[in-house]
A = this chain, B = another copy of it.
Amino acid sequence: MAFPTVGIVGAGQLARMTAPAAAALGVRLRLLAGSPDESAAQVVPDVVLGSPDDLDALRRLADGCDVITFEHEHVPPEHLEALVADGVPVRPGPAALVHAQDKAVMRERLTAAGIPCPRWRVVASADDVAGFAAEAGWPVVLKTARGGYDGRGVWVVGSTAEAVEVLEAAAARGVRVLAEEKVAFVRELAAQVARSPHGQAVAYPVVETVQRQGICREVFAPAPGLAEDAAVAAQEVALRIAGLLDMVGIMAVELFETADGRVLVNELAMRPHNSGHWTIEGAVTSQFEQHLRAVLDLPLGSPAALGPHAVMANVLGGDYPDMYPAYRHILARDPGVKVHMYGKQVRPGRKVGHVTVVGDGPLDGLTERARHAAAYLTGEITE
């Protein structure tokens, strides 16, 4: 059979949750994993051990794959260019992926295209930060252009003295720093779209995401109370970015919703994203299946929601290394909650699973169920 093989750089929970979609589609997966214990390496037979910093490892991954894609952006662009030069289809391509790898490049490109972003500037000195703050006000958000995730690489600073510490640490690592205005947002949204090489694109319902300490904790799909025209506007921004960047695959556009109803682009993720986990149960085509279809240039699936509401809550590691007793309790308490465990060692604050509740009941009830299950598994509550 001519069914293809997809190589994924990375073997965390995003690759793990791609495995079921691949099995159903009849598509084979090969992973690049740091160790055979990683989340996805537990559930995928074909694993190449190595680092994404190692071009030889990437070439071993690519050998026999029909396309290479990613579950994270931490791959040196020059290695991706080398794979492309080898003739390997890399999707999204390096020229698109750089916008998820480098926030300064992303800001430059989106601003040039007139896509609304927070005020921003690349800063190299205390004077630069002070000058930016004189226009945008304190506090200022500083971000390393590369390498951050889940709140790492982001600082909110209230003075040039605080900024200097961040700048010096970044300079020591050789990464650029962006200053951004601290947007007084009402809430955060995410607009997820998928685009295929021949340009077919679909947009998922816009969701609300809730972060605590920079880590996504809850997602509500669709975003409660979001006006139809605002939702369409957010989808249009995401579709426009996908086309502008010649993106291939699934992309999440994280957005700030402001009090006056505007949306500003916060970040881009060019891979399956935490804001789309609800699609496994909540949409006709999950983000994981959609990503595979997009990178294989297969026709895209329907992004329609299956029900009126879905609520996703992340399970973080807590104080108890063995979650199994809490897990049994949760399954007994709520036969309708969908629990996803990632097979990861519990460490405090680490994402080790998530729960989703879908249904046609009132949103408050679904939220309480998802929130309770996640908090109980995390160990924040005990009854």
Q: Which residues of A contact B (CB under 8 A)?
A: 1-3, 16-17, 19-20, 22-26, 28, 41-45, 47, 202, 280, 284-285, 293, 298-302, 304, 306-307, 321-324, 327-328, 331-332, 335-336, 338-343, 345-346, 353, 358
Which residues of chain B are within 8 angstroms of A25 by Cβ–Cβ distance? 339, 341
> Can you list 13 A-B contacts with CB-CB less than 8 angstroms, sorted by A residue number?
A1-B346, A3-B341, A16-B23, A17-B23, A24-B339, A25-B341, A26-B327, A26-B353, A28-B42, A43-B44, A284-B335, A302-B335, A306-B358
A26-B335 contact in complex given A1-B322, A20-B19, C-beta closer than 8 Å: no
Which residues of chain B are within 8 angstroms of A1 by Cβ–Cβ distance? 321-324, 343, 345-346
Nearest-CB residue, chain B, relative to A329:
B299
The complex places the Cα of A194 from the Cα of B322 at a distance, in Å, of 27
Most B CB contacts (10 A, CB to CB) among A22, A24, A302, A345 go to A24
The complex places the Cα of A378 from the Cα of B307 at a distance, in Å, of 31
The complex places the Cα of A180 from the Cα of B343 at a distance, in Å, of 50
CB distance from A335 to the nearest CB of B (A): 4
CB distance from A366 to the nearest CB of B (A): 13
CB distance from A364 to the nearest CB of B (A): 20
CB distance from A183 to the nearest CB of B (A): 35
* New A-B contacts (10) at CB < 8 Å, excluding given A2-B324, A19-B20, A285-B335: A1-B343, A1-B345, A2-B322, A19-B43, A23-B343, A26-B353, A28-B343, A43-B43, A299-B328, A306-B306
CB distance from A294 to the nearest CB of B (A): 12
